[in-house]
Structure 1
């Protein structure tokens, strides 16, 4: 119950789950049966989407302008800075919904241009059904990786890999969903067992290579501290590294 309360207490997760429920209801009501077989395409596409967003967007080099830095801090930098803060576990609403809408319109548009009569149902099966179910799975396993509680074997495996990303090398293991390590291996962002034994924790790991007292970090922490329940002691400790 703890995990369900934390996860669905977040607006973006709840709205994405609602979108998935609506998609299922719509598919049951009117979609051709063969469209259900397209769900795996949505799963695969979302797993690639997860990897690419995490690696190429969420881990962009820190912007010099504070407003841009603050956006990335809220999107992901802050989660590395305070990895156990529940409010920073999840993708923000203003990221999740535009990505959902954009992907849906893209798939719908392409399939319509290709002349598929069931273009709307194809897009529904791939994006708000297969894609969003995968997104919810990602959020569940990601949240679980950061909580100290009993875990299944799969959850412990995900936690071990994700901890390497947070506490060993933030340039490795960008995936979180079970099975996603295949993508990391294909892209060369995994850490093999032997290399892990020799590799040292990289400098300033929790601040993605920035000095903990970087002025941009200090400003972002001050801006978001109240919103995310960060105490003065936590903020001061983060600045000391």
Structure 2
């Protein structure tokens, strides 16, 4: 647990979200009411589906042909698959993205709730749901994801999230998009649960780390050079 937390406290996205989360806690203390747990549960569950959708449809989309766009996808996810033990690739390069996404989500939810609750209450409910409930779910995801990639001694919890997530990396990258603990049901709901037989049919040792791409694809080679990578895919970064 300590090793995973030491990585988390250095994550730029969590640094940027922390002030918004703290403001949300303050709003809770100022609005103690029956709807607070409902808002928190809604925000938490909403983030679980966002986690799944972004992983499956955004990060695992068809590789772009334009190199600059491909480089962005490489930095945000393909590089993580090629170098899964490198903490530098645990998160994407745009650490402000979660904040922008959260602010836009709050604006949309506020607009939808405004006719029912009034502007002030609509904003308060939306903010607490998304910047406390959803951000808590996001931090939980980052913890599970980080723990699954660290080569440390793990208890039953760590072994579970590691076994589940590394099946996505090393057996079938077309399945098991949900990373957070205990949420296999979301993959089952959308038909992307891990299946050993299907995984064996899909498995290609040459392309598994590059998400189905030829490791020598010019886009991959160019992206690696752009980020100063000169080691083979899957290799650990040399210690300094």
Q: Could you say whether these structures have the same fold, taking a TM-score greater than 0.5 normalized by the shorter chain as the test?
A: yes
Gap change, CA 1:5 and 1:197, over 3 Å in 2: closer
Q: Note if contact 1:17-1:136 (Cα within 8 Å) is conserved in structure 2.
A: no
* Residue 167 of structure 1, CA deviation: 0.2
- Tell me if structure 1 keeps the 8 A contact 2:44–2:134: yes
Q: Does 1:25 align with 2:20?
A: no
Higher deviation after alignment, 58-67 or 105-114:
105-114
Match of 1:238 in 2: 233
State the shift of 1:95 in Å.
2.6
Contact between 2:83 and 2:234, CA under 8 Å: does it hold in 1?
no
- Distance of aligned partners of 1:59 and 1:198 in 2 relative to their CA distance in 1, 3 Å threshold: closer
Runs of 5+ consecutive residues of structure 1 not aligned to the other structure: none
2:103 maps to 101
Determine whether 1:186 maps to 2:189: yes
Helix, strand or coil at the partner of 2:34: helix
CA positional deviation for 1:197: 8.3
d(CA) in 1 for partners of 2:71, 2:83:
15
Q: Distance in 2 between matches of 1:49 and 1:166?
A: 20
- Alpha-carbon distance in structure 2 between the residues aligned to 1:13 and 1:115: 30
CA distance in 2, matches of 1:59, 1:103: 22
In the alignment, the residues of structure 2 paired with residue 68 and residue 55 of structure 1 have an alpha-carbon distance, to the nearest angstrom, of 18
C-alpha deviations, 1:154-206, integer Å up to 9, x for none?
Answer: 221111110110000100000001122110001010124x5378556335011
Aligned residues: 230
CA contact (8 A) 2:171 2:200 kept: no
Which residue of the partner structure matches residue 169 of structure 1? 172
Paired with 2:204 and 2:22, the residues of 1 have a C-alpha distance of 42
Of 150, 153, 158 in structure 1, the residue corresponding to residue 156 of structure 2 is 153
Tell me, in whole angstroms, the C-alpha distance in 2 between the residues paired with 1:197 and 1:119.
45
* Rounded Cα–Cα distance in structure 1 between residues aligned with 2:46 and 2:62: 25
How do 1:81-120 residues align onto structure 2 when only pairs under 5 Å count? Answer: 81-91=82-92, 92-116=94-118, 118-120=121-123
Q: Give the Cα–Cα distance (whole angstroms) in 1 for the partners of residues 53 and 199 of structure 2.
A: 27
Consecutive unaligned residues of structure 2, counting only runs of 5 or more, are 236-240
Once residues 217 and 199 of structure 2 are traced to their aligned partners in structure 1, the CA distance between those partners, rounded to angstroms, is 31
TM-score w.r.t. the length of structure 1 is 0.88
